[in-house]
Amino acid sequence: MHADLPIPKPEAIVYENAHLYACLATYPITRGHVVVVWKKHVEDLHDLSNEEYDELMDAVDRVRDVMLQVLKVPKVYLIYMDEAKHVHWQLVPRYNKKGFDVFEHAPKVTDDFSLAEPLRACLNK
């Protein structure tokens, strides 16, 4: 894993394999906000091989589908921004009907990772 990448708390991890992990965000925008992170240091999506990109996006799709089911939300936003210079996706559940106002929430640090277990259980089915 890249040295500058924060190590997620084990209780926050909902999915992991040799190349990536998905965990509940430490600074969630909304309850259930998940981050899917490529472990090897890669600065941008275009730097991934086709196989790596497919693996990453399969994981993003799978985690999103489980979030929709477990959180019972109408939508999960998939956000990719490369300011961190490390490939990762933010999966942000939308609980309200207005949509974009989800991004007006001020993220605050959390240590409540209680949603990890139901997400893990559903992913392991």
Please tell me the predicted confidence (pLDDT) of residue 5.
Answer: 61
pTM: 0.90
At 33, the amino acid letter reads H
Q: Is residue 38 part of a domain?
A: yes
Longest dimension (CA), the chain: 39
- Structural tokens at position 84: 């961190």
pLDDT digits (tens, 9 = 90+) for 67-98: 999 999 999 999 998 778 899 999 999 887 66
Cα 111 to Cα 45: distance, rounded to the nearest angstrom: 29
Which alpha helices (H) appear in the chain, and where do they start and end? 50-71, 116-123
Range of the domain at 77: 10-120
Distance from the first to the final alpha carbon of the chain: 27
Indicate the number of domains in the chain: 1
Q: Is residue 105 part of a domain?
A: yes
